[in-house]
Chains A and B, each alone.
Chain A
Amino acid sequence: MSTRPPTLRVKRRYLLIRIEPAGTIIDQKALHYAVSDAITSLWGDVVGAVIMSAVVASEGHYVVIRCQRGTEQDLSIALSTITTCGDIPVALRVVAASGTIDSLREKIRRVKTPASESVSPRECTFDKKLFQINQYNGQKIDVIEKGFKNTNRLFLTREDLEEL
């Protein structure tokens, strides 16, 4: 199939999305289904077909989502209604929009500097419960409760742990 001339091609835009919490590993296919479901649920099939969303790239906890030019706002509203991906609770934060994936990749490299660091398992206590520190990111600390059941993830800061 020959490619169309530039004037006849569909103009596309790419959104750079940051996935929170940091360190969450998400299957690209599961994310695509979550995005598609959110768009259909909010805007319906007709607008969904116009948006033509697709997860096109993923780098660490950043993903790039494609849409048709002019539908970025609709897509970002739909993305803000996503609360889970599969069974994993997530939040998708729109960082930037661009006409090329390359410029977003460049942006990832620039933004990435204060990256979150996974730490070797270390324990801490908070509210008289034992937790395992999972993720550090500057002031932010994510901890997971130790145990076999009710292993909740808590989002704290360094000061919360220092205070105890």
Chain B
Amino acid sequence: MKITDACVYPYPCGDSSVRRMALDAKVLGFDRLVAADTPSGEFYGVEVYTGILIRDTSIRDLINRIKRERNIAAVISVQAGDNGYNRSAINVKGVHILRGLHSADKNAFDHVAARTAADNRVAIDLDLSPFLSGRGFTRQRAIQRYRDILVLEQRYGFPLTLSSHARSILDMRAVREIAGLCSLIGMETPDVEMAFFGVDIITSPPGSSVKVI
């Protein structure tokens, strides 16, 4: 199990190279990064996974895109939309993470979507950037949504991931700082640890549902 930041944006999306982000991530306590549109590799002892973020597409286009990307070992994320879209996206085979629920509708993620996410092992991403860059209503809304997601997570047990969405090394936070920020939404230390290991859970092959004795 490796402590993972589930989304960073290295150069050219951000102002830091993937190597520099990996170097700083190691100092901050991470073992792995999911870097958007960056080839996978290992730098300074930190594993880097390719991250693909799909947004503003219909479900049909989403399925086609995932078919095209199937041969690439990448963590595929989908930007959340309305409730119907999210339910469908979670059911698409190959989707790993549903992102951006803090800015989606209030009812975008309900108990049905939560149960489907748990069955299909699709993780829900907790983006910490509204806590860092947001003030006032933006941050309050994010806290409210994440608290609601945590209620569903405790009931249905779908995986969670934590991401900084850092576009610079200055936006990255240490593991301890992230644990502190997660305490704002009522996450205890074991919950935070599980969320750090979320990428491991979604990328490892599923265990057999039938146990052979």
A residues near B, CB below 8 A? 20-21, 41-42, 73, 76-77, 80-81, 83, 89-91, 93-94, 127, 139-140, 152-157, 159-160
Q: Is there contact, CB below 8 Å, between A89 and B170?
A: yes
Nearest A residue to B131 by beta-carbon distance? Answer: A81
The 13 listed contacts between A and B (C-beta, < 8 Å) are A73-B180, A76-B177, A77-B181, A80-B177, A80-B180, A83-B133, A89-B168, A89-B170, A127-B12, A153-B15, A156-B16, A156-B17, A157-B20
**Which of A76, A89, A91 has its CB near the most chain B CB atoms (within 10 A)?**
A91
Q: For the complex, give the distance between the alpha carbons of A42 and B130 in Å.
A: 12
How many Å from the CB of B82 to the closest CB on chain A?
Answer: 30
Is there contact, CB below 8 Å, between A80 and B132?
yes
A157 to B19, CA, bound (A): 7
What 4 A-B pairs are tightest by C-beta distance, nearest first?
A155-B16, A80-B177, A77-B180, A91-B170
**A154 partner residues in chain B, CB cutoff 8 A:** 11, 15-17
Q: Which residues of B contact A (CB under 8 A)?
A: 11-12, 15-17, 19-20, 23, 44, 131-133, 135-136, 139, 168-174, 176-177, 180-181, 183-184
Output the least CB separation between B11 and chain A (Å). Answer: 7
What residue in chain A is nearest B11 (Cβ atoms)?
A154
Given contacts A21-B170, A77-B183, A160-B17, 7 further A-B contacts (CB under 8 A): A21-B169, A41-B136, A83-B171, A140-B20, A154-B11, A154-B16, A156-B19
Count how many pairs of residues, one from A and one from B, have CB atoms less than 8 Å apart in the complex: 71
Interface of chain A, helix or strand or loop or mixed? mixed
- Choose one: A76, A155, A160; the contact of B169 (CB below 8 Å): A155
Question: Are A94 and B170 touching (Cβ within 8 A)?
Answer: no
Q: Contacts A41-B136, A91-B170, A127-B12: A77 and B17 contacting too (C-beta < 8 A)?
A: no
Query: Given A81-B131, A91-B169, A155-B169, are A160 and B19 neighbors across the interface (CB < 8 Å)?
Result: yes
State the CA gap A127–B139 with chains docked (Å). 36
Closest chain B residue, CB of each to CB of A152: B15
Closest to B170 in A: A91
